[in-house]
Structure 1
Amino acid sequence: MFFSCNSSAQKNETKETFPVTKTDAEWKAQLTKEQYYILREAGTERPFSSPLNKNYEKGVYHCAACNTPLFKSEHKFDSGTGWPSFDRVIEGNVAFGTDTKIGYTRDEEHCATCGGHLGHVFNDGPKETTGKRHCINGDALKLVASKE
């Protein structure tokens, strides 16, 4: 069965506060149009459109908005869904919420530092590890390569 990361754009209506907070104008000046759509408007990129989807370079994936480390490359796997997928997060750096915008409930993920929307987590990941699939928009990430 195919589960996607697609969603209509959701806004964070609860107005949570995060350690890194900026105005919309500041975010728009810092981020690309695509990054702003994903991170600040909770959009979803087209599947198979991110160069990070099939990138297996060693390093750490950081939030594209605030540079918080979110995922390690050794936890990345090819889910076949068209989005970068990981079986676990860097604890404390990813926060979770509930998304019901498309008619059913999904577990949404966002950066715990700036609140940027990352994607969703599903229970159809690798059974030999965590069983989780963190389905993440590539535009929400930047890879900081290892120096090895």
Structure 2
Amino acid sequence: MPAPKIQLTPQQWRSKLNPEEYAVLREAATERPFTGEYTDTKTEGVYACRACGAELFRSTEKFDSHCGWPSFFDPADSSAVILRADDSLGMRRVEVLCATCHSHLGHVFEGEGYPTPTDQRYCINSIALRLEPKG
């Protein structure tokens, strides 16, 4: 995996992020389902990494999956995220990281049958994102 373009010490990240943001973005925690600020939003715009500001997803790729977290079928740019195997919790998943700062965003799932062009669901923690409304 390439080195992150933005590298901060844990202390620097802690001063930049609140405790909940730090837990998700830097320690791979997960926010509770149906509690995130972007789970049901329909606002047009760009979803950026809350840790570093890099563009990750666009509202045009967001869809209603009713899973409890914001869902996207594709990143804004194929190089915006890094995917890596995650064998934690006794199961095989694919973790999604910000390519710029390597912050944990969520997981991606395939073959679930959603009517999307990619048959993928990027299940992303709201707290890992910041919506920049179009306009």
For normalisation by structure 1, the TM-score amounts to 0.86
Question: Match for 2:87: what amino acid?
Answer: T
- 1:17 to partner: Cα distance: 2.6
| Aligned residue type for 1:44 | T
Give the aligned length: 133
SS of the residue 1:40 aligns to: helix
Aligned to 2:120: 132
Q: Deviations over 1:29-50 (max 9, x none)?
A: 1111111000000000000010
Q: What residue identity is the alignment partner of 2:103?
A: G
| Structure with greater helix percent | 2
- 8 A Cα contact 1:87 1:125, kept in partner: no
Q: Equivalent residue for 2:95?
A: 108
Structure 1: unaligned runs, 5 residues or longer: 1-13
Distance in structure 2 (CA, Å) of the matches to 1:56 and 1:127 = 18
Cα distance between partner residues in 2 of 1:40 and 1:22: 11
Is the contact between residue 64 and residue 142 of structure 1 (CA under 8 Å) also seen in structure 2? yes
Kept in 2: contact 1:119–1:134 (CA 8 A): yes
Match of 1:63 among 40, 49, 55: 49
1:82-121 to 2 correspondences below 5 Å: 82-90=68-76, 91-121=78-108
Query: Unmatched 5+ residue regions in structure 2?
Result: none
Which residue is 1:46 aligned to?
Answer: 32
Counterpart-to-counterpart distance in 1, 2:46 and 2:114? 20
Q: Which runs of 4 or more aligned residues in structure 1 lie more than 3 Å from their structure 2 counterparts after TM superposition?
A: none
Deviation at 1:125, TM superposition (A): 5.5
Question: TM-score with structure 2 length normalisation?
Answer: 0.94
Match for 1:66: what amino acid? Answer: C
Residue 126 of structure 1 deviates from its aligned partner by: 2.6
CA-atom RMSD, angstroms? 1.3
Contact 2:105 2:128 in 1 (8 A): yes
Q: Distance in 1 between matches of 2:56 and 2:33?
A: 20
Deviation of the 1:128 alpha carbon: 4.1
| SS of residue in 2 equivalent to 1:144 | strand
